[in-house]
Amino acid sequence: MPSRIWERLVDWFTNGTSQGSIWANIEVTLEEAVLGFAIGTLAGVVLGVVLGRSRFLAEVLAPFIKGTNAIPRIVLASLFVIWFGLGMTSKVATAFVLVFFAVFFNAFQGAREVDRVLVDNARILGASRWDLMRTIILPSATSWILASMHVAFGFALIGAVVGEVVGADRGMGLLISRSQGNFDAAGIYAGMLIITAVALVAEWLITKLETRLTRWRPQQSSSAAAGI
């Protein structure tokens, strides 16, 4: 019943949970997700752009990347707990592997889609590789990268929560797991609602960042947008 879910939320935010303050659990999950998101995004952008501009490296590493991408990454959460323990590291690793490939493939395609004429003209004018990367390739791939970030943060939250369900001492995933063990449906729904609220706030912040980073682009006129 919705009323039971509301009661559970009020109880968690006023009296705390069996695992301590609800704010402390949200903070742990959010910290794990943000770290995994940041590291995964950085690695995905760097490797995606480098391979996108180097056909030889892309062809050499393609079988390994495709093979790794085929591994069910959620299953890796159990392995990470064995490797890194119940602390934050195993949750960050799970979030990382979910975020990395979502960003990597978009950054790779964005680097491949750069206008060849712009690159050739810049080279004629004496642009170095770093100049090309800074002024043409990265700005051209920005839309691809930012589009992947909207999905990637959701993956980061999934990775953090799944890692906590597998094994943790704090976090929203642990609260959901304990509620499941006690057949407490209201607790499961309450945890889901809190995670959803966090994801919506993160989506809003990423949208603000996207608007700020793409402000340099010229706006389409209404006639152009209508195809006139």
Instruction: For the chain, 228 residues long, give each residue's pLDDT as a single digit of tens.
Output: 788 888 888 888 888 777 778 888 888 888 888 999 999 989 988 888 888 777 778 788 888 888 877 777 777 888 888 888 778 888 888 889 888 888 888 888 877 777 677 766 777 777 667 767 767 777 777 777 888 888 888 888 888 888 888 877 778 888 888 888 888 788 888 888 888 888 888 888 888 877 776 665 655 444 444 444
Task: Taking the CA atoms of 116, 122, 125 and 127 in sequence, report the sign of the dihedral they define.
Answer: negative
What tokens appear for 178 in the block? 């304990």
| Residues 157 and 33: beta-carbon distance below 8 Å | yes
Q: Could you give all domains of the chain from N- to C-terminal order, each with its CATH number?
A: 2-14+31-215 (1.10.3720.10)
Q: What is the dihedral of CA 13, 181, 3, 198, to 10 degrees?
A: 50
